[in-house]
Amino acid sequence: MLKEKISNHTARYGVIGMGYVGLPLAVEFAQVGFPVTGFEVDKSKVETLNRGASYIDDVPSTRVAPLVKSGKLGATLDFDQLAQMDVISICVPTPLSKTRDPDMTFVEAATREIGKRLRAGQLVILESTTYPGTTDEYVKDVFAKTGLACGRDFFLAFSPERVDPANTKFGVKNTPKVVGGVDAESGALSAHFYAQAVDRVIPVSSARAAEMAKLLENTFRSVNIGLVNEVALMCDRLKLDVWEVIDAAATKPFGFMKFVPGPGVGGHCIPLDPFYLSWKLRSPNYRARFIELAGEINSEMPNYVVRKATDALNDAEKSVKGSRILLLGVAYKDDVADMRESPALDIQRLLEEKGADVAYHDPHVPTFRGGHEGHGPLYTSVPLTEQELKRSDLVVVACRHKAIDFGLVAKNAKIIVDSRNAYPQGKPIPGSARVVRL
């Protein structure tokens, strides 16, 4: 019986997609004794993992190596092994198309791979963020073609990933896990499974409720980031320091949650997930106005940063064209290497379009290929040296990485456009750099 296998940790666990979501999840379950197999289409990830090494910043190789050595964790390119799994999680990307419609290619491919090999007694859990109805409409329908009955022969649920890269306080184990089954039996079995490795499980009434909860989480963040970014624009017009205003408001012990502005939003969730919800609501003829407005404001922030840079250079009697500009950070957030949807890339592109000579320094991203879908020129991080800073006409702080020496930057830069509050108002700044705050 599957529940008994889960209880004694002998259930074989397969994770499709061993990226920033799948690998931490696999490691956590292997850590408590489950035999875990990661399924990948990327050969390099499989080889790296099977050597006992990690390619995810939040998962050190010191955790991976002993699990691989003990046989509790491994990876494979062979999807036929899915038939041997008792529990399967789908942890694949769910990007948006160019028209901001959900791109379900990866979920559909994973579902088909499982469907070819689905057998009685298996539990399948979708973790990829998606629109309400995906699990009990699309995934269930694919599996139903096998002739097996959901809730009797196999079990199906949705449990949204809640990974926050570079968060040293919350990880898979201590972040509450929301779980919703397509039916009651599937929900109960999934909750029981996660309870083996996660401190707190939050069962909800359905897979749709769990799907909606995930979209609410990220829509909440997107809308509030959009609000505080608009406040930054307002404060600029009113000649106020937005960071001082936010810090003052944040002293209220109730009714206020602190969000901070920045050069835009990026990553795997905030710029994308709310549009899954607005797309789903097109059918009932409902316009998600908050989502669309927040998206407009957040996507405009790179242009705002570039305008700040342009004005700062004009004040120094320089044009953007021909100026050497150093971009500090190309990742989407502080202390990560993830560049997906990074606003820093928009800033770089906009400056280059204006004729600037743009270099970048990012200790987490030694190289990257620009252009659409990485088909453009190869960029290499320059060393952060006194010479590099002095030859730059302007520095843009796009990330506040801990590994960046902002004291060195202030001592040697001429002009700094600070979009991350690396140089808070009121604190002394070494050197003579002119700092332009967001």
CATH code, 308: 3.40.50.720
At 313, the amino acid letter reads L
Beta-sheet strands, E only, within 170-263: 177-181, 201-204
Which position has the token pair 């209880």?
Answer: 7
Which of 206, 232, 252 is the C-terminal boundary of a domain? 206
Residue 218 belongs to a domain: no
List the catalytic residue out of 91, 150, 269, 399: 269
Which of helix, strand or coil describes residue 157?
strand
pLDDT at 98: 66
224 within some domain: no
Determine, yes or no, domain membership for 221: no
Distance separating alpha carbons of residues 38 and 90, to the nearest angstrom: 10
Same domain, 186 and 265: no
- Let me know whether 29 and 149 are in one domain: yes
Shared domain check, 249 and 201 = no
182 and 330 part of one domain: no
Does residue 416 sit within a domain?
A: yes
Q: What is the pLDDT of residue 152?
A: 95
Q: Residues 169, 30: one domain?
A: yes
188 within domain boundaries: yes
User: Would you say 186 and 180 are in contact if contact means Cβ atoms under 8 Å apart?
Assistant: no
The verdict on 136 and 272 lying in the same domain is no
- 47 and 126: one domain? yes
Mark whether 120 and 69 lie in a shared domain: yes
pLDDT per residue, tens digit, the chain (438 aa), is 899 999 999 999 999 999 999 999 999 999 999 999 999 999 999 999 999 999 998 999 999 999 999 999 999 999 999 999 999 999 999 887 666 778 899 999 999 999 999 999 999 999 999 989 999 999 999 999 999 999 999 999 999 999 888 899 999 999 999 999 999 999 999 999 999 999 999 999 999 999 999 999 999 999 999 999 999 999 999 999 999 999 999 999 999 999 999 999 987 777 777 777 788 877 777 888 888 898 899 999 999 999 999 999 999 999 999 999 999 999 999 999 999 889 999 999 999 999 999 999 999 999 999 876 667 889 999 999 999 999 999 999 999 999 999 999 999 999 999 999 999 988 888 888 999 998
Specify if 213 maps to a domain. Answer: no
Residues 397, 419 contacting (CB under 8 angstroms): yes
Residue in 6, 326, 389, 378 with CA at minimum distance from that of residue 195: 6
Q: Is 138 left (phi over 0), alpha (psi -120 to 50) or beta?
A: alpha
- Among 206, 226, 257, the domain-final residue is 206
Is 269 one of the catalytic residues? yes
Question: What local confidence, expressed as pLDDT, does residue 39 receive?
Answer: 98
Backbone region of residue 52 per phi and psi (left: phi > 0; alpha: psi in -120 to 50; beta: other values) = left
Supply 385's token pair: 């040296």
Residues 353 and 84: their CA atoms lie apart, in Å, by 53
Query: Domain check: are 425 and 281 in the same one?
Result: yes
What's the pLDDT score for residue 113?
A: 98
Indicate the number of domains in the chain: 2
Same domain, 425 and 312: yes
Tokens (6 digits) for 323: 């100026």
Could you tell me the two tokens for 18?
């061993």
Amino acid 373: pLDDT: 67
The answer on 283 and 422 residing in a single domain is yes
Q: What count of other Cβ atoms lies within 10 Å of the Cβ of residue 255?
A: 5
* Rounded CA separation 207/309 (Å): 47
What's the confidence (pLDDT) of residue 95?
Answer: 84
Q: Does 229 map to a domain?
A: no
Per-residue model confidence (pLDDT) at position 267: 79
How confident is the model at residue 261, as a pLDDT? 96
Specify if 235 maps to a domain: no
| 180 and 252 share one domain | no
Domain range for 389: 240-437
